[in-house]
Structure 1
Amino acid sequence: MNDRLPHEKGFHVSWDQIHRDSRALAWRLDKRGPDDGAWRSIVAITRGGMAPAMIVARELDIRKVDTISVKSYDWQEQASAKVLKSPDADVMSDGGKGVLIIDDLVDTGKTLELVRQLYPNAHFATVYAKPQGREMVDTFITEVSQDTWIFFPWDMALQYVRPYRGN
């Protein structure tokens, strides 16, 4: 019998790793925008999408960056997604055409499904993707299993962790 909690099958991401993976996302998105390959702006889904969006904006020299705040988790429990703050209406004209919407992770896809309904012409990119939400994202870098909990550097502190197998 396994007495581990589901989130204990962890994928730990360091600041170096999120930076490398976000740069890889930028390279994958480069010259793929609708305006002769260019993107008009970036909208980060707060809070997890802010660090990757900053890195992608720097790599692709995109100066217009905004946020959309969507709450879909209460601690580690997923809840109904709801928009707490929308991006500027001028940025999202034409349903988001030419806009990159960036998040750290697509899990079940509920957050991106809500945002996609609001901005159907935007391009959705995440650094990490789980199978259940993968169809909601247009571009991603790394896929992990649905039962893996990703520990991002902004959520961690250094401490001892038991080995995955054994005591």
Structure 2
Amino acid sequence: MSANRYHQLFTISWDQLHRDVRTLCHHLVERDFKGIVAITRGGLIPAALIARELNVRLIDTVCIKSYDEQSQGELDVMKGVEHDGDGWLLVDDLVDTGKTARAVREMLPKAHFVTVYAKPEGRPLVDQYLTEVAQDCWIQFPWDLGHAYVEPLVDQVRPPKP
């Protein structure tokens, strides 16, 4: 976690992500979308879950790189789409500073833009989100984590018996 920008940590499990996406879908289920545009890579998994819940089969991607581990760099648009987003659902995992969101909004001004998590700086750029997170909070998504063995507490605190 970067010492200067992030002061909190929010770890999201696969189960929590799935519950959050399903809750977000309750607010979308009455709408009819032509398809989904996922912002890669973070929006891919939420978009797949949303596609299942809303029974949407047409999925496209906008490929943008803005993060390198925990620091935001320059935007690199690697793939766009050939429409303005009219009737489409645009999905990302998170809106942070709004840098990526602004670029995608310019590409797809008519899309309905949703994120699962939103920080205050980027929040005004999305149409819907589920959970607001503090600006200085680093979110650890389940796809960035691995399972590891943890020693029992007694073995961490007490010296081993001879």
TM-score band, normalised by the shorter chain? 0.7 to 0.9
**Displacement after TM superposition at 1:22 (Å):** 0.9
> What secondary structure, in the 3-state scheme, does the structure 2 residue paired with 1:114 have?
helix
Counterpart in the other structure of 2:85? 96
CA RMSD, 1 decimal? 1.5
**Displacement after TM superposition at 1:158 (Å):** 3.7
Q: How far apart in 1 are the matches of 2:76 and 2:139? A: 22
Q: How far apart in 1 are the matches of 2:88 and 2:143? A: 26
Q: How far apart in 2 are the matches of 1:137 and 1:79? A: 21
Given the alignment, which residue of 98, 103, 106 partners 1:114? 103
Q: Are 1:59 and 2:53 an aligned pair? A: yes
> What secondary structure, in the 3-state scheme, does the structure 2 residue paired with 1:29 have?
coil
Q: How far apart in 2 are the matches of 1:80 and 1:121? A: 25
Counterpart in the other structure of 1:123? 112
Q: How far apart in 2 are the matches of 1:15 and 1:156? A: 10
> Where in structure 2 are there 5+ consecutive unaligned residues?
151-162
Counterpart in the other structure of 1:143? 132
Structure with bigger gyration radius? 2
* Aligned partner letter, 1:77: S
**Displacement after TM superposition at 1:7 (Å):** 3.8
Counterpart in the other structure of 2:42? 48
How many residue pairs were aligned?
A: 147
Distance change in 2, residues 1:155/1:7 (3 Å) = farther
Counterpart in the other structure of 2:71? 77
**Contact 2:97-2:122 at 8 Å conserved across structures:** yes
**Displacement after TM superposition at 1:153 (Å):** 0.3
Counterpart in the other structure of 2:160? none
Of 20-29 and 138-147, the range deviating more from structure 2: 20-29
> What secondary structure, in the 3-state scheme, does the structure 2 residue paired with 1:96 have?
coil
Counterpart in the other structure of 1:25? 24
Q: How far apart in 2 are the matches of 1:63 and 1:27? A: 18
**Displacement after TM superposition at 1:25 (Å):** 1.4
**Displacement after TM superposition at 1:119 (Å):** 1.0
* Aligned partner letter, 1:14: S
**Contact 2:7-2:136 at 8 Å conserved across structures:** no
* Aligned partner letter, 1:80: E
CA deviations 1:44-84 (Å, max 9, x no partner) are: 00111011000111111111011111111122111122211
Q: How far apart in 1 are the matches of 2:68 and 2:86? A: 31
> Where in structure 1 are there 5+ consecutive unaligned residues?
32-36, 161-167
**Displacement after TM superposition at 1:19 (Å):** 0.6
